[in-house]
Structures are given as C-alpha cells and as structure tokens.
C-alpha cells in the first residue's frame, strides 16, 4: 500500500487501487421514525453497552484522518437521537482545515430545531435531510410515526443556522413517484439540491421491495419529457451523480446502485455504532475496530484497518427482482449508516 503521510503511516488504498478518503460513522442504530423501506415496525436495537463510546468514536476518527480520510459523515439510525452527538461533532470538527476537509451529517430532520446551531458551531456546513414526501398524511404513512411539520421546522432551523441542505428522497413506485417533480420544484425554490435514491435490498422489512422498486432510469426518462437535463460535474465525495435541470435552475442528484453501479470509484468505508468497519454496504465482510482498540490500542486499530482494505470487494451485488426477493444482506440500513 502507498505511503506518504508526514507521520510515516500508510494511506488508505484498497486492493483495487481505490483511495479511501471518506468515512461514514453510524453513531446509533436507533431512530425515532420507522420508514417502511428501511425498517420493520418492530425493531430490536443494540443494547447501549454494545456501543462504542463517543470518545472511542472520536479516537478512531482521529486515526482515519491521520491516514488520509478527508471527509466524515455522521449517520445513524438517526444520529441526533444519541446524547452527546453535538460534542462528538465538535471534537471531530477540530480537524477541519488540518487534514479534514468536510464534516457532514445525514438526518431525518426531526431534531434539527434543537441541534442545528450546535452543528454549525462544530464546523458542519452542509447536511442531508431524508424527506420522501411533502404531504403530511403520506409522510406519516411512509415513516409510520413522522410529523412533517416538525421536520419542516428543523429544515428552517438549519437554514437559519447557515447550513446548506441536500434533500434525500427514496423513489418508491406507487407511493411517492408522483411527488418527484413537485419535490424538485420545491427544492429549486429553496435553493436545495435534491438527490433521488433507488431503494436498496438491505434488511428484512414488512413491505415488498419488488413492488416498490422504481428505477431512476425511468424517472429521468419521464423528467426529460418536460425538462432539459445537463450533466453537472459537481461532486460531494459520495455516490451521487448530478444533473442541472435548466428550466428550474436546479441541481438533481441520482444515487442508483441498481441501474448504474458506481462501485468503480468507491472511496468509502463505514463504521457502525458497535465498532464494526464495513468495507461495502452490500457485503457482510467487516473488521472489529472496537475489539481492536480495547485489546490493543491504536496500533491494533491500524492493523485492523489494513486488513479491512485487503477485504474491500470490487463491487456490491444488489438486485431487486422476484429471483432475488430476499435482502442482499440481513442487516438494516440503520445498522451500517446511510
């Protein structure tokens, strides 16, 4: 593996020559919503005793930054339900401008009113908000428990705190596909980017993913009947590929793991709240950084990270059809982080 950092440690390059520069950290598997495409209604969450402490998360993040990670995203579950997450953001944010280029967060927005200013003070400048409908009744149906007004208040609080916002919308056939154009127009009016996401086969849920799967190729074909879509070279370091919608002066992102595999340029690894480092969202290979740290300190964490890089696969194997109706992996998205 390639070296070159000032402290002599190895940069993060996998067996296929891809530079790993982006770490997603799930600070909790818990969430205050139960989105139908993501979770079952009755979920069993990890006991608190199984979790990494926030101090351990911060120390592991330090090591990734020392080895060349330039972007960290805090995720969940819903990250803002974990007590102390603002302090964790502040602790990691101290590296901004000193190896770390960006600290971001993905949230469902339900607790942004309470946290937006603290996140901005920690150095967060941009967040992703998951929002699948602008209709209050439909939003509650999709999330099972969600209050759209609370999310909208959170978005307003984030804007007031100076945070830039990208809206993440999972495209669901027969559920919210009629809202894609209204959501795009709403985002354009507010100066937000919209990213559409294909539903992913992660974890057993109470819904039939085959019936709800909406390929984004079909969505863009429909949009092109009314709008001019021009490729946009804007990048955030994640899997989104962007288009400019000229008539709306809007930016549209597409996250399409099924119709347009984006693995060749993968630069990401994911740390779960219990300390498992997953190299790919669609595979079960992982290394235990919690055990490594608690048994051997930072040196053992480095060795485990090196092992993870050797194990990182070339690509996922996501499929959604009747021949592959079972999830690609058993764990839910809330375990690994979005």
The annotated binding site for GTP is made up of 24, 73, 106, 166, 268-270
Quote the CA–CA distance of 194 and 67 in Å, as a whole number: 32
- Which letter does DSSP use for residue 198 in this model? E
Tokens of 146: 């969600």
Residue 122, judged by CB atoms within 10 A of its CB (0-12, 13-18, 19+), counts as buried
Which residues contribute to the annotated binding site? 24, 31, 35, 37-38, 73, 77, 106, 130, 166, 200, 263, 266, 268-270, 280
Quote the CA–CA distance of 207 and 211 in Å, as a whole number: 9
Measured between alpha carbons, how far is residue 107 from residues 129, 147, 293 in Å? Answer: 5, 14, 28
Quote the CA–CA distance of 60 and 272 in Å, as a whole number: 12
Compute the half-sphere exposure of residue 302: CA atoms within 13 Å on the CB side of its CA.
13
Instruction: Identify whether the C-beta of residue 58 lies closer than 8 Å to the C-beta of residue 91.
Output: yes
Which residues contribute to the annotated binding site for S-adenosyl-L-methionine? 37, 77, 130, 200
Tokens of 244: 């400019």
229: nearest Cα among 261, 253, 255, 257:
253
Write out the DSSP string of 85-154. HHHHHHHHHTTBTTTB-EEEEEE-STTHHHHHHHHHHHT--EEEEE---SSHHHHHHHHSS--HHHHHHH
Cis peptide before 77 (omega within 30 of 0): yes
Which residues contribute to the annotated binding site for [4Fe-4S] cluster? 31, 35, 38, 263, 266, 280
H/E element, 335: helix 333-336
């Amino acid at each position: 593996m390639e070296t070159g950092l000032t402290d002599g440690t190895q940069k993060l390059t996998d067996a296929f020559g891809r530079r790993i520069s982006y770490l997603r950290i799930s600070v909790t598997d818990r969430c205050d919503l139960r989105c139908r495409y993501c979770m079952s209604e009755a979920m069993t969450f990890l006991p608190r005793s199984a979790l990494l402490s926030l101090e351990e998360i911060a120390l592991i993040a330090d090591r990734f930054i020392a080895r060349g990670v330039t972007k960290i995203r805090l995720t969940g579950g819903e990250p803002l339900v974990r007590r102390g997450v603002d302090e964790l953001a502040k602790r990691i944010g101290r590296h901004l401008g000193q190896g770390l280029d960006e600290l971001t967060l993905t949230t469902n927005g339900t607790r942004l009113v309470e946290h937006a200013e603290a996140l901005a003070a920690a150095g967060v400048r941009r967040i992703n908000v998951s929002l699948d409908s602008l209709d209050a009744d439909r939003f509650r149906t999709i999330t099972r428990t969600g209050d759209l007004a609370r999310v909208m208040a959170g978005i307003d609080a984030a804007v007031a705190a100076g945070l830039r916002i990208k809206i993440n919308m999972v495209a669901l056939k027969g559920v919210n596909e009629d809202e894609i154009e209204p959501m795009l127009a709403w985002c354009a009016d507010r100066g937000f980017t919209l990213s559409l996401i294909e539903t992913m086969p992660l974890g057993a849920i109470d819904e039939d993913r085959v019936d709800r799967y909406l390929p984004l190729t079909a969505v863009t074909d429909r949009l092109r009947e009314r709008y001019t879509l021009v490729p946009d070279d804007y990048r955030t370091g994640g899997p989104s590929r962007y288009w400019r919608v000229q008539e709306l002066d809007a930016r549209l992102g597409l996250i399409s793991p099924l119709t347009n595999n984006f693995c060749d340029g993968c630069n990401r690894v994911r740390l779960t709240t219990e300390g498992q480092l997953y190299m790919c969202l669609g595979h079960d290979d992982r290394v235990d950084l919690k055990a490594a740290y608690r048994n051997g300190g930072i040196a053992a964490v480095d060795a485990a990270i090196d092992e993870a890089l050797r194990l990182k696969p070339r690509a996922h194997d996501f499929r959604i059809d009747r021949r592959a109706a079972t999830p690609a992996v058993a764990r839910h998205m809330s375990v690994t982080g979005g």
